[in-house]
Chain A
Amino acid sequence: MKEETLLSINGVSVAFKINGEFYTAIDDVSLELHRDEVLAIVGESGSGKSTLATTVIGLHNMNATKITGEINFQNKEILELSEDEFNDIRGDEMGMIFQDPLAALNPLIRIGDQIKESLDVHSDMTEDQKQARVHELLNQVGIPHPERVAKQFPHQLSGGMRQRIIIAIAIANKPQLIIADEPTTALDVTIQAQILDLLKDIQRENHAGIILITHDLGVVAEVADTVAVMYAGEIVEQAPVATLFNDAKHPYTRSLLRAMPTIDSEDDELYVVEGAVPSIKDMDRNSDLFAPRIPWTKPDVGHPVLKEIAPNHYVRGESWREFKFKDEL
């Protein structure tokens, strides 16, 4: 039983202008997100996951970015919206949670006013109603003494508290879509769990869809329904969370899973995927992009394509059929 589709991304590519030339950062990505679903996008730094999220909420500098493809959000083609029309949606129907909770808050403005700004833009509440809503939001994200905290400045709060403020800002207008860009990266593990629970609660309340961007597979296992693995700006594997953890196919996914430390691991050393994501300036889009990092495996010829190998399980290319880890050869 699938819920209604909230967001569908169709063949979206994003290119950035660097020194007058465009370089592709996201290549032909298609994804769907339903209500009540948590879609996790995982990958290393530089794999394009944040770029994709920024594209959905329309925060790229359009003077230096070229976006092609279609993004349909609640029956609106959002790539065709003007800046003003997009501003009506941003912060209202979709909200974004950013990763660095100190940098993401304006140091000169009181917490309460920063949350209230979302309401100022999108609602016609009176000042008193806004005030009450701010306190309600602070309460909801688990901040004690909302009245006092609302009058404080960001630097007076701890990292976990600031992350809660960021969440309060993102959910102020009960958005249908919440994009969470590494919401727990800057936090310690106990706070992480609290923040994830909070996100789940908020989702249940509004039947929202969540795009969760992370490189932490532990977080994915805990909250995600569907997982898309990105490498070098393209999706290399996409599957329901259980499938992905039990039956991952693509060498990159398998490498990531293997690199994840487990409590009953017998190895003393952690598995390491050699090398790094290539910079977008030296990506050859007409090749198997992950192949250079597993040189012992025969690469796909040309540019491998994403195929559905089982219901809802997509894998890019064919090389995965032969893939073995180096020590299994």
Chain B
Amino acid sequence: MWKTIIRRVLIMIPQIVILSALVFILAKLMPGDPFSGTIGPNTDPKQIEALKRAAGLFDPWYVQYWHWIVNLFHGNLGQSYTLKQPVVTVLGNRIGNTVWLSLLSLIVSYAVAIPLGMTAGRFDGSRRDRAITIFNYFTFGLPTFVVFLLGLYIFGYQLNWFPTSGTISINASGFFEETASRFYHMILPGILAGVLGTTSTVQYLRSEIIDAKSQDYVRTARSKGVPTNKVYSRHIFRNSLLPIAAFAGFQITGLIGGSVVIEQVFSYPGMGQLFITAITSRDYSVVTAIVLFTGILALFGSLLSDIILSLVDPRIRIE
């Protein structure tokens, strides 16, 4: 098991190198350079050239790439042009917010989707099943920003149940109060994002359960005289959760990458919002850093999925 994980991590190294090269080339292909915005019209072109030369912009691309990589390994992702802070610091401030928010929405999502999918699958064709299918159409069909805005308007502005922006109240002090305030700020976006994220899980689980019901091993279990509820809990649900488990790794890392829409609507300072701001203000160093970061996350997501699957399915257990 550990050997396989280590091997998979080693395989990731060339993947990350290729990814970083791609990200670097894309960044270089973007029009403009870090100095175009900071120089006045009267600046001597010779001075600009000297600045560019000093920043290494006239070096061949592989030399530039090498410098970038060496800096990367030193944890130096460069300087944010608009925030005038090291990129690492900027990301560090945001990542915690996103991790907690996505964790909450992931928990909400599974807590809602798994019971719904199980009910729909077990009683397929029933009234309950049809109601769940209709719910699914809504979560799938409604544009996310519409739901977020509506939620924000109703629960935030009209009912005043939840704060409408930010991650923490300015009055909060002390560990306990701060934590409570952070949680309070996460509840509305977390629940809304979680509920909207249930569609595929419900649908997958439903069809997996319907499929599992007619499997031979279920018949075997029933032939032993196992009561129906136990047949479901022990034989059907467990097998039906496999594809969900296989997908969980991607889901987790995908969420950490940040949800652009929800963070934008709720003015929640996380990775997603940072990404949008960085793009609109041409903050290239931040953009490349985030793209690289999400790329690496995706690689880890697939590893995580494989690990989760090998834990729940003995056929995939790796010796």
Chain A residues with a Cβ under 8 A of chain B: 57, 59, 83-84, 86-92, 95-96, 98, 100, 103-109, 114, 117-118, 121-122, 153, 155, 166, 169-170, 172
Contact = CB atoms under 8 A, between A and B. Distances in A.
9 contacts: A87-B226, A90-B222, A98-B216, A104-B220, A105-B217, A106-B217, A108-B314, A118-B224, A122-B225
Given A106-B217, A107-B239, A57 B224 contact: no
A95 B224 CA distance: 7
User: How many B residues touch the partner, as a band?
Assistant: 20 to 34
Interface in B199-239: 215-217, 219-228, 234-235, 238-239
B223 A96 contact: yes
Given A87-B226, A87-B227, A106 B221 contact: yes
A117 B224 contact: yes
Nearest to B313: A108
Contact of B313 (A57, A100, A107, A172): A107
Contacts of B235: 106, 109
Given A107-B315, A108-B314, A153-B315, A92 B225 contact: yes
Contacts of B222: 59, 90
B315 A166 contact: no
Contacts, number: 75
Contact of B217 (A83, A86, A103): A103
A91 B228 contact: no
Interface in B224-258: 224-228, 234-235, 238-239
Contacts of B314: 107-108, 153, 155
B312 interface: yes
B227 A90 contact: no
Nearest to B219: A59
B223 A95 contact: yes
B225 A118 contact: yes
B223 A170 contact: yes
Instruction: Say whether chain A's binding surface is mostly helix, strand, loop, or mixed.
Output: mixed
B226 A91 contact: yes
Given A107-B315, A153-B314, A155-B315, A121 B217 contact: no
A118 B238 CA distance: 19
B246 to A, nearest CB: 14
B216 A104 contact: yes
Contacts of A169: 220, 224
A92 B223 CA distance: 9
A90 B215 CA distance: 18
Contacts of B228: 83
A100 B225 CA distance: 20
Contacts of B313: 107-108
Contacts of A103: 215-217
B220 A98 contact: yes
Contacts of B239: 106-108
A91 B225 contact: yes
A90 B224 contact: yes
Nearest to B223: A96
Given A107-B313, A108-B239, A108-B312, A100 B216 contact: yes
Contacts of B312: 108
B225 A87 contact: yes
A117 B223 contact: no
A88 B312 CA distance: 31
B315 A117 contact: no
Given A103-B215, A103-B217, A166-B220, A89 B315 contact: no
Given A153-B314, A155-B314, A155-B315, A104 B219 contact: yes
Contacts of A155: 314-315
Contacts of A59: 219, 222-223
A59 B313 CA distance: 27
Given A91-B226, A117-B234, 11 more contacts: A57-B223, A95-B223, A103-B215, A104-B217, A105-B220, A106-B221, A107-B217, A109-B234, A117-B224, A118-B225, A121-B225
Contacts of A88: 225
Contacts of B234: 109, 117
Contacts of B227: 84, 87, 121
A59 to B, nearest CB: 6
Contacts of B223: 57, 59, 90-91, 95-96, 98, 170
Interface in B260-319: 312-315
Contacts of A170: 223
Nearest to B224: A91
A103 B225 CA distance: 18
A108 B226 contact: no
A155 B315 CA distance: 7
B243 to A, nearest CB: 13
A156 B216 CA distance: 18
A84 to B, nearest CB: 7
Contacts of A95: 223
A69 B219 CA distance: 24
A204 to B, nearest CB: 23
Contacts of B224: 90-91, 117-118, 121, 169, 172
Determine which residue in A92, A117, A169 has the highest number of CB atoms from chain B within 10 A of its CB, and name it. A117
B220 A106 contact: yes
A83 B228 CA distance: 9
Nearest to A155: B315
Nearest to A122: B225
Nearest to B216: A103
Interface string B120-132: 0000000000000
Contacts of B220: 98, 104-106, 114, 166, 169
Contact of A108 (B216, B219, B225, B238): B238
Nearest to A99: B216
The 6 lowest CB-CB distance pairs between A and B, nearest first, are A91-B225, A91-B224, A103-B216, A90-B225, A106-B217, A153-B314
